[in-house]
């Protein structure tokens, strides 16, 4: 370096006024490397986006103070450089822009333990259905000249997703998943005493998709109803099934989570159109301990986050030319990221504590596949290694209420008897749910 060179410490550039920290994904330079102004020094993951940390001047790396995968405050230096650029002597890190909204609460919504009851309940069998059509990032980015396939995968974790065909409906997916679960449970269809179906995208406003499913299955008259807790819906359904069994109302309850959101996406809205896939998952919940035992349930909802994820029109199809309601799914991605990450972390800790498990005893966390970055952040905050989070978001996307049962079907061959699982979800509302399960 020239004789007039000097050293300076650089922090990461803040991406928003409400943000306080970011995670270094990968360094592109090492100690001793020379670099040019504008060269990418590192890739960084913030609550807002994945971004490039660019050199503000020409120089040379003296020391890298924080390594890849570390989460660092924006106020803390991550790299020391040497430069002869005189303008850097008075350099001030660029200020983040002012927030455009009043920040929602960052703490997790309160959760309320469900009554455990005296009757043991188990998951006797699980089933799943994904549409045959596979939609890749390459197909979806055609309307976005400045976005690459790799960027979508970095930001969301999604590489591809399944979408229904023109002649398919949510009840079609639910029916296939239900048959799969009943077969897995090794019971007859007539042994089903009730259907609880979770969905935010029913076939029609009424009758319920649960009743449509009941007809498809040829079931005798039994209770059948829908519930809507958005992405937390299937865990709510699981809890309802457990309560029906504990009350003596039923011995075998078919629970289904199904959502078809591919037709509800504004293809010009980059915050939603890459995230969602269609699918259905199901489980038979039975009295007794012959299956995979359900332990504790935590449910919650906090309406202060009502506007973070929303859709004004009902159903799984829409006509944007009719009515004044916005027909598309909308999300406040930045604020939702922070609330969801903290909520997931709190749910996992609270679920383990209420069951009497230490965090190191948990073999698998099976989260709703919201977004890979959200779940990586949640893993760091709850203290469980991310490699113990089961992830399939890369090839199915966010399938809302179907997400957890779909994951359970995919991972079941890798599970061993006695494995301890925490199932958890955060959904629009904001709804939260967690269930502890022993395989």
pLDDT tens readout for residues 137-189? 999 988 787 788 988 888 889 999 999 999 999 999 999 999 999 999 999 99
Task: Give mean pLDDT, residues 311-320.
Answer: 70
Residue 2 predicted with pLDDT over 50: yes
Is the pLDDT at 123 greater than 70? The verdict is yes
368 classed as catalytic: yes
CATH of the domain at 369: 3.40.47.10
Per residue in 6-32, pLDDT (tens digit) is: 999 999 988 766 678 888 878 999 999
Pair (29, 116) in one structural domain? no
Per-residue pLDDT, 334: 67
Provide the pLDDT confidence category of residue 323 given band limits of 50, 70 and 90.
low
In a domain, 104, yes or no: no
- Would 261 be classed as within a structural domain? yes
The answer to whether residues 300 and 366 belong to one domain is: yes
- Domain, as residue range, for 363: 112-438
- Structurally, the chain folds into a number of domains equal to 2
User: Are 83 and 117 contained in the same domain?
Assistant: no
Q: Is residue 164 part of a domain?
A: yes
Residue 112 clears pLDDT 50, i.e. is over it = no
| 162 is known as an active-site residue | no
C-alpha dist (Å) from residue 272 to 3, 231, 335, 428, 429: 52, 14, 14, 14, 17
> Which has the minimum average pLDDT: 117-121, 124-128, 155-159?
117-121
Options 228, 252, 371, 398, the catalytic residue: 398
Instruction: Give pLDDT, residue 48.
Output: 60
**Span 57-74, mean pLDDT?**
90
- 101 in any annotated domain: no
Please indicate, yes or no, whether residues 430 and 315 belong to a single structural domain of this protein: yes
Say yes or no to pLDDT of 290 above 80: yes
Model pLDDT, residue 113 = 52
| Percentage of residues of the chain with pLDDT beyond 90 | 62
Asked whether residue 105 is domain-assigned, the answer is no
pLDDT given for residue 119 in this prediction: 79
Q: Are 81 and 200 contained in the same domain?
A: no
Is residue 103 a part of any domain in this protein? no
**Token pair belonging to 260:** 């078809």
Q: Which of 57, 121, 231, 424 is catalytic?
A: 231
Residue 238 lies in a domain: yes
Identify whether residues 86 and 124 lie together within a single domain: no
Residues 79 and 118 in one domain: no
pLDDT of residue 33: 94
Q: Compare 64 and 271 and report the one with higher pLDDT.
A: 64
pLDDT at site 101: 39
Select which of 129, 368, 382, 424 is catalytic: 368
Same domain, 146 and 44: no
Per-residue model confidence as pLDDT tens digits over 127-138: 999 999 999 999
Among 63-77, 101-115, 213-227, the minimum mean pLDDT is found in: 101-115
- pLDDT, tens digit, 9 for 90 and up, residues 235-288: 999 999 999 999 999 999 999 999 999 988 888 887 888 899 999 999 999 999
- Rounded CA separation 66/75 (Å): 13
Is residue 127 domain-shared with residue 234, that is, in the same domain? yes
Tell me the average pLDDT across 402-410.
98
pLDDT number for residue 324? 66
Q: Is residue 141 part of a domain?
A: yes
Confidence at 98, pLDDT banded by 50, 70, 90: very low
Mean pLDDT score of the chain, rounded to an integer? Answer: 88
In the residue annotation, 334 being an active-site residue is answered as no
Residues 78 and 153 in one domain: no
pLDDT of residue 322: 58
Least confident of 52-61, 140-149, 190-199, 381-390: 140-149
Indicate whether 251 and 333 sit together in one domain. Answer: yes
* CATH number for the domain that contains residue 54: 2.40.50.100
Q: Would you state the pLDDT for residue 118?
A: 62
Query: Which tokens go with 315?
Result: 């159903």
Do 355 and 423 fall within a single domain? yes
């Amino acid at each position: 370096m020239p004789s007039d060179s000097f050293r300076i410490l650089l922090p990461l550039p803040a991406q928003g006024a409400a943000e306080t920290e970011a995670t270094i994904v990968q360094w592109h330079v090492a100690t001793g490397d020379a670099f040019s102004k504008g060269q990418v020094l590192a890739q960084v993951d913030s609550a807002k986006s994945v971004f490039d940390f660019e050199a503000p001047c020409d120089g040379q790396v003296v020391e890298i103070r924080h390594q890849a995968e570390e989460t660092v405050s924006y106020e803390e230096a991550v790299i020391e450089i040497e430069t002869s650029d005189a303008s850097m002597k008075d350099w001030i890190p660029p200020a983040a822009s002012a927030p455009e909204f009043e920040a929602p609460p960052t703490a997790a919504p309160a959760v309320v333990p469900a009554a455990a009851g005296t009757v043991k309940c188990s998951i006797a069998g699980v089933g799943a259905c994904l549409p045959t059509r596979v939609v890749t990032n390459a197909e979806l980015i055609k309307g976005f000249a400045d976005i690459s396939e790799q960027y979508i995968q970095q930001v969301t974790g999604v590489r591809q997703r399944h979408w229904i065909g023109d002649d398919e409906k949510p009840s079609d997916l639910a029916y296939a998943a239900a048959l799969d679960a009943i077969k897995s449970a090794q019971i007859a269809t007539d042994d089903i005493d009730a259907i609880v179906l979770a969905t935010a995208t029913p076939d029609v406003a009424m009758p319920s998709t649960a009743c449509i499913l009941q007809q498809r299955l040829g079931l005798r008259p039994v209770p059948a109803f829908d519930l809507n807790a958005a992405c937390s819906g299937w865990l709510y359904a699981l809890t309802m099934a457990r309560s029906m069994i504990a009350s003596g109302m039923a011995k075998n309850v078919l629970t289904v989570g199904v959502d078809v959101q591919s037709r509800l996406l504004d293809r010009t809205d980059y915050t939603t159109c890459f995230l969602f896939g269609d699918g259905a998952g199901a489980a038979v919940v039975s009295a007794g301990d012959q299956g995979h035992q359900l332990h504790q349930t935590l449910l919650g909802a906090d309406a202060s986050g009502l506007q973070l994820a929303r859709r004004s029109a009902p159903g799984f199809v829409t006509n944007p030319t009719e009515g004044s309601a916005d027909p598309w799914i909308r999300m406040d991605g930045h604020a939702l990221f922070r609330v969801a990450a903290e909520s997931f972390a709190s749910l996992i800790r609270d679920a383990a504590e209420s069951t009497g498990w230490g965090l190191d005893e948990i073999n698998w966390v099976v989260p709703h596949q919201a977004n890979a970055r959200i779940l990586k952040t949640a893993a760091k905050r709850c203290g469980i290694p991310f490699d113990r989070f089961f992830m399939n978001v890369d090839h199915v996307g966010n399938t809302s209420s179907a997400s957890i049962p779909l994951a359970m079907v995919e991972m079941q061959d890798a599970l061993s008897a006695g494995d301890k699982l925490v199932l958890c979800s955060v959904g629009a509302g904001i709804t939260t749910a967690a269930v502890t399960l022993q395989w």
